[in-house]
Amino acid sequence: MSANHTENAEIHLPLDIEPAEVMKRLPKQFFAGLVQKVGREVAAGHDVINLGQGNPDRPTPPHIVQSLQEAAANPLYHKYSPFSGYSFLKEAICQRYKEDYGVTLDPEKEVAILFGGKTGLVQISQILLNPGDLCLVPDPGYPDYWSGVALAGAEMSLMPLLESNSFLPDYDAISEQDKSRAKLMFLNYPNNPTGATAPASFYEETVRFAAKHGIAVASDFAYGAIGFDGKRPISFLQTPGAKEVGVEYYTLSKTYNMAGWRVGFALGNEKIISLINLLQDHIYVSLFGGIQEAAKVALTSDQQNVRDLAALYETRRNALFSELDKIGWNANKPSGSFFAWLPVPKGTDSASFADSLLRESKVAVAPGIGFGRYGEGYVRVGLLTEGDRLQEAVRRIGKLGLF
């Protein structure tokens, strides 16, 4: 028997794989459990009305789909895309922001194309935070902010979003120590999960606060196209001085029902944009060119489909709240996004309330605790099914006599 054969015979499989410490720091995916619970009810044959998800239910507009079908046949796009993306997409992004918000951007220096907004929101912690650095995070908020901070080995300080303050953070309530330590802060308006929007005065205060304390701002504008009651949500970048202190994240997922296409972008501060592009140069070779072509078409074609979509969500919101009023479930209407933020009955918590609705009414909602400590006492309801189904869900809940 050869020496090599003897050595191979002594190998013990499978290997004992030990994850890196960074993997152990990642927060638990709270909503994976909700998906499993809903799946079990559906598998058992129940008609579940799932209002707990955040996945747009409408298809991508046909003209965008057609543009991808045609672009897929272009041999140019069968090659690697330019590392930081095609100039035509970056120019289209700048054109849309100029038309919608009056914001002027340099397509080569102030735009970074992303593999979906989520990717960029995780990456910014990795490019700006060192282990032990502090990040200001809204609570309740999008859980993937926490993921990026954890991957960077940094720490979080929570900014409570309270109904008494219109679900805006109170900068005066942040300790002087946290103000001096913080290097990054996340904002998100229209807000997930509360559905709140931010006024221009808040962004002006944010720019002053960030400049005074040397804190970079990451404005998550994922729901920027979805505003109600005739009011268009305000972009952080519309604020004088915004580009000097931060960046804004936008995604085509919600505006054009392109969630599965994974197209997003970061805009603003030239130094931060260059760092995003540098990190992505080491990880990706940009998006498939055909998708970039379709994204350009989405941004530069007539925007009536975007206005129609916002109107559809407003109709659904109104249908939901008309039924909520009938059963005595009192809540504030959202002013943006496609979510409603509803208080749970007194004497219960969000997780047990959500479980009881699924068990007894076959209605799935997202427990507020999944969005942070200050999300307790609420559940998030998505406006991502037709109005009659939203109303049916409320009628089912009404039969429980909780309100």
Question: Within the chain, how many helices (H) and strands (E) appear?
Answer: 16, 12
Do residues 191 and 371 lie in contact, with contact meaning Cβ atoms separated by under 8 Å?
no
370 vs 136: CA distance, rounded Å: 18
61 vs 305: CA distance, rounded Å: 7
Report the run of H or E that residue 111 belongs to, with start and end: strand 111-114
Classify 81 in phi/psi space as left (phi over 0), alpha (psi -120 to 50) or beta: beta
Would you state the pLDDT for residue 78?
95
For the chain, what's the residue count? 403
Residue 23's CB is within 10 A of a number of other CB atoms, namely 10
Quick check: is 9 in a domain?
no
Unique residue bearing structure tokens 């095609």: 86
In total, how many domains does the chain have? 2
Would you state the pLDDT for residue 5?
53
Range of the domain at 275: 63-300
**Rounded to two decimals, what is the model's pTM?**
0.92
Q: Are residues 150 and 40 in the same domain?
A: no
Helix boundaries (H) for 74-232: 87-101, 117-128, 144-152, 176-181, 200-213
Q: Are residues 387 and 267 in the same domain?
A: no
Q: Provide, for the chain, the percentages of residues in helix, strand and coil under a 3-state DSSP scheme, each rounded to the nearest 5.
A: 50, 15, 35
292 vs 165: CA distance, rounded Å: 40
Mean pLDDT by 10 residues, the chain (403 residues): 54 80 84 87 94 92 97 95 94 98 97 95 96 97 93 96 97 97 98 97 98 98 97 97 98 96 97 96 92 98 97 97 96 96 95 95 96 96 96 96 89
Q: Are residues 194 and 282 in the same domain?
A: yes
Among 242, 267, 300, residue at a domain's last position: 300
Quick check: is 16 in a domain?
no
Quick check: is 13 in a domain?
no
Would you state the pLDDT for residue 31?
77
Among 300, 334, 358, residue at a domain's last position: 300
220 vs 192: CA distance, rounded Å: 10
**Which DSSP string do the residues of 43-98 spell out, in sequence order?**
HTT---EE-S-----SPPPHHHHHHHHHHTT-GGGGSPPPTT--HHHHHHHHHHHH
* Single-letter residue type at 113: I
298 vs 320: CA distance, rounded Å: 30
- Domain with residue 271: its CATH number is 3.40.640.10
70 vs 26: CA distance, rounded Å: 40
Would you state the pLDDT for residue 27?
84
Quick check: is 15 in a domain?
no
Q: Are residues 323 and 293 in the same domain?
A: no
Among 281, 300, 319, residue at a domain's last position: 300
